[in-house]
């Protein structure tokens, strides 16, 4: 798909270590276990690599094209008979100023189920080819020209806090917001403290900065939730931009 581009070495992160033993040692007391009897695996793993020769600059931030994926054993029954393996894959951009990951809807496949590597490769290539890179970059660049005053931003954050506790009957009529209450608190703190994406001297904040506060707070997510929230951050920011121009879908979040 990218035959003439430079590709970085992958970065790999794992979490939730699970220690076990080989089947032959299943009945051994713990005190008698040999190192060769022990096994170790991780419930969650994420990898990503950059293609630094494909990049764009937005408001002084360099964005490199980035590809990656997630494998989470906690989402799969490891003891069932052979069934399709589940993965999450994405293509998007990484902001080198803060290492925030920018993922759009058309660059993310939240549930890729395959039986073998060839099927996974085919599905990945289809995603990469269908991803509209220029549209994604244009959308993010447009966030610079829309913004909120401090009172609007405070109203928005308050609504985000309320959203977490809405009755299900009310929440189902609103767009989805995946950031947690704690992460919304991190966004509020960063509005005042973040040197790159915080408020200006007149307490105005562009949606480009709001978006990066979202993706920055998302770095506290578990690996298996990270990509869903990254994609949702893009959707919410785009919805906010429309709401500030009078669209009704996300108007509730602005009060």
Q: Give the global pTM.
A: 0.90
pLDDT of residue 79: 67
Burial class (CB in 10 A: 0-12, 13-18, 19+), 190: buried
Return d(Cα 93, Cα 216) in angstroms, integer.
14
pLDDT of residue 78: 67
Per-residue pLDDT of the chain (255 residues; tens, 9 = 90+): 898 999 999 999 999 998 989 989 999 999 999 999 999 989 999 999 999 999 999 999 999 999 999 999 888 776 677 788 999 999 999 999 999 999 999 999 999 999 999 999 999 999 999 999 999 999 999 999 999 999 999 999 999 999 999 999 999 999 999 999 999 999 999 999 999 999 999 999 999 999 999 999 999 999 999 999 999 999 999 999 999 999 999 999 998
Q: How far is CA 204 from CA 98, 159, 168, 201, 223, in A?
A: 21, 19, 33, 7, 32
Q: How far is CA 32 from CA 22, 24, 27, in A?
A: 13, 13, 10
- What does the domain layout of the chain look like in residue ranges? 11-131, 140-254
In a 3-state reduction of DSSP, which class is residue 60? coil
pLDDT of residue 169: 95
Strand partners, 89: 69, 109
C-beta of residue 2 within 8 angstroms of C-beta of residue 131: no
pLDDT of residue 76: 77
């Amino acid at each position: 798909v990218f035959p003439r581009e430079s590709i970085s070495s992958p970065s790999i992160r794992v979490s939730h270590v699970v220690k076990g033993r080989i089947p032959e040692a299943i009945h051994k007391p713990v005190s008698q276990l040999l190192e060769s009897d022990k096994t170790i695996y991780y419930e969650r793993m994420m990898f990503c690599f950059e293609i630094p020769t494909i990049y764009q600059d937005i408001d002084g931030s360099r964005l490199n094209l980035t590809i990656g994926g997630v494998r989470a054993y906690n989402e799969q029954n490891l003891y069932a008979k052979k069934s399709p393996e589940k993965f999450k894959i994405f293509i998007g951009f990484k902001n080198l100023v803060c290492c925030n990951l920018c993922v759009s809807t058309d660059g993310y496949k939240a549930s890729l189920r395959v039986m073998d590597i060839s099927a996974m490769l085919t599905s990945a290539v289809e995603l990469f080819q269908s991803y509209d890179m220029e549209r994604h970059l244009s959308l993010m660049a447009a966030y610079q020209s829309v913004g909120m005053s401090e009172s609007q931003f405070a109203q928005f954050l308050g609504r985000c806090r309320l959203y977490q506790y809405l009755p299900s009957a009310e929440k189902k009529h609103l767009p989805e917001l995946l950031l947690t209450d704690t992460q919304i608190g991190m966004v509020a703190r960063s509005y005042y403290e973040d040197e790159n994406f915080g408020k200006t001297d007149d307490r105005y904040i562009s949606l480009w900065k709001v978006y990066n506060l979202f993706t920055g707070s998302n770095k506290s997510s578990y690996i298996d939730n990270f990509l869903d929230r990254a994609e949702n951050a893009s959707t919410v920011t785009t919805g906010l931009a429309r709401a500030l121009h009078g669209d009704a879908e996300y108007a509730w979040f602005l009060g």
